[in-house]
């Protein structure tokens, strides 16, 4: 038997209904903040991620699905979307549009990492990018929007964590101090941390190995090295969040794993996910456009929500999510009724009713199926009903049954009577 590839999975009903509701909620919130949807290709040139994400990151060096195309070019399944969005922004000269460019995306990403709870090799992200401003006001609004999405999905008990990772002026001083301290302690840390001392010392702060945490706690803090501009920017972001009543914790060890981040970074965690408890991460990336050869600066800030992990948290928080079921189950009795009910079902669907038309010839069996699938109503149609123009509508919850004319079926099912 052929099975799904390791690290991938099928999203089946009824859980797919929850995915649809989460995505619908996100789209509704994005619309309220005037974000527009962008859909980028799943395949990109490999050099886009090598430049945008960083050749020394784990994503590029270990996790990307890269292959040679028939023309000899190197292509990669997108491991994240920010670089793709910025590529599209530059390619299509979206900088010429008036005002801030605010875009969102929903779709699959691919990384060959070790499968674990809530993490897959094909995974889904909901994300957004606000491009064209360095203002801390934009940072605060993006974080506010993230909190709004999670709240409207029904998630509770999550924690918002923020930090600043400085800029190209002050971060090098911090990295130098960090590398100097790591030179002494790295031999006591995991193999990845030992390698990162030379390649990307900031990633050491993101290490999740329990034995390394006491050592990481002794390392320098980025907040002690911020330049005046970055410090003012971070203080202003915190002030705006306080004005909005958004609770947060400043965590100096919070870094982003991608090279293009600077200044504001943030993460939201949730206890339902265990040790790997991050639901989303994001931050500012004012230098990304330049690294992709843009001649026009394009400062921006964005985030990506791990939709797989968000749905998992939402299931734990709200086990009573409604299922997608038929509102009306039509049970025709006889050949004439079956022909007529095909037309009737079409009319009702056009009126906005979710209809299941039974192919079963026996009423008892049809009603059993209607009950087991969770249909709200069943419509019984036989020769007598056709002749009278009046149908029997059965409430599958209460068991009550009433006669209804054809022109009132939709209103009765939709509760508009």
Per-residue pLDDT of 260-303, as tens digits, reads 688 999 999 887 544 457 889 999 998 888 888 788 888 999 99
pLDDT of residue 52: 58
Block mean pLDDT (10 aa), the chain, length 417: 90 89 95 97 90 60 84 92 93 90 96 76 95 95 95 89 91 87 82 80 82 85 92 96 94 75 90 65 88 84 92 77 83 88 92 90 85 89 85 90 90 83
The alpha carbon dihedral of 55, 57, 60, 61 has a sign of positive
Query: Which token pair is 224?
Result: 């002690």
Q: Judge whether 92 and 83 are in contact, CB under 8 Å.
A: no
Per-residue pLDDT of 393-407, as tens digits, reads 999 989 888 999 988
Query: Which token pair is 167?
Result: 């800029």
pLDDT of residue 57: 57
Give the H/E segment covering residue 297. Answer: none
Bridging pattern class, strands 377-381 and 328-332: parallel
Distance CA 376, CA 390 (A): 19
Torsion of the alpha carbons at 299, 301, 307 and 313, rounded to the nearest 10: 170
Whole-number CA gyration radius for the chain: 27
pLDDT of residue 58: 59
Query: Which token pair is 119?
Result: 């993490």
pLDDT of residue 336: 87
The model's pTM is 0.85
Which conformational region is residue 98 in: left (phi greater than 0), alpha (psi within -120 to 50 degrees), or beta? beta
Distance CA 177, CA 198 (A): 13
Distance CA 326, CA 233 (A): 52
Distance CA 356, CA 353 (A): 10
Starting at the earlier edge strand, list the strands of the sheet with 66-68.
Answer: 43-45, 74-77, 66-68
């Amino acid at each position: 038997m052929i099975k799904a590839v390791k690290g991938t999975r099928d999203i089946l009903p009824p859980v797919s209904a929850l995915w649809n509701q989460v995505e619908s909620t996100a789209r509704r919130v994005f619309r309220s903040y005037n974000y527009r949807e962008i859909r980028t290709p799943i395949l990109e040139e490999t050099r886009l991620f090598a430049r945008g994400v960083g050749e020394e990151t784990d994503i590029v060096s270990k996790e990307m699905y890269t292959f040679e195309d028939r023309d000899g070019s190197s292509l990669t399944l997108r491991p994240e979307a920010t670089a793709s969005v910025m590529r599209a922004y530059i390619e299509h000269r979206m900088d010429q549009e008036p005002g801030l460019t605010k875009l969102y995306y929903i779709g699959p990403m691919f990384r060959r990492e070790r499968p674990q709870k809530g993490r897959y090799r094909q995974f889904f992200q909901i994300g957004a990018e606000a491009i064209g401003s360095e203002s801390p006001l934009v940072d605060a609004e993006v974080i506010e929007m993230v909190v709004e999405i999670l709240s409207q999905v029904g998630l509770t008990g999550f924690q918002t964590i923020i930090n600043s990772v400085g800029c190209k002026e002050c971060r090098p001083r911090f990295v130098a101090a960090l590398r100097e301290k790591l030179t002494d302690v790295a031999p006591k840390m995991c193999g990845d941390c030992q390698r990162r001392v030379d390649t990307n010392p900031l990633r050491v702060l993101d290490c999740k190995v329990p034995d390394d945490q006491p050592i990481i706690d002794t390392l320098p803090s980025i907040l002690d090295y911020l330049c005046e501009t970055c410090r003012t920017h971070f203080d202003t972001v915190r002030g705006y969040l306080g004005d909005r009543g958004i609770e947060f914790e400043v965590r100096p060890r919070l870094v982003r794993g991608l090279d293009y981040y600077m200044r504001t970074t943030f993460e939201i965690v949730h206890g339902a996910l265990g040790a790997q408890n991050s639901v989303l991460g994001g931050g500012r990336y004012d230098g990304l456009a330049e690294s992709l050869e843009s001649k026009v600066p394009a400062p921006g800030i964005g985030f990506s929500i791990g939709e797989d992990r968000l749905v998992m948290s939402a299931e734990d928080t709200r086990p009573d999510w409604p299922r997608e079921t038929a509102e009306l189950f039509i049970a025709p009795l006889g050949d004439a009724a079956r022909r007529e009910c095909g037309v009737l079902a079409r009319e009702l669907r056009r009126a906005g009713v979710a209809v299941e038309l039974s192919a079963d010839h026996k009423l008892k069996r049809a009603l059993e199926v209607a009950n087991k699938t969770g249909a709200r109503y069943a419509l019984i149609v036989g020769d007598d009903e056709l002749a009278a123009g009046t149908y029997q509508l059965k409430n599958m919850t209460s068991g009550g049954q009433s006669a209804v004319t054809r022109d009132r079926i939709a209103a009765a099912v939709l509760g508009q009577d």
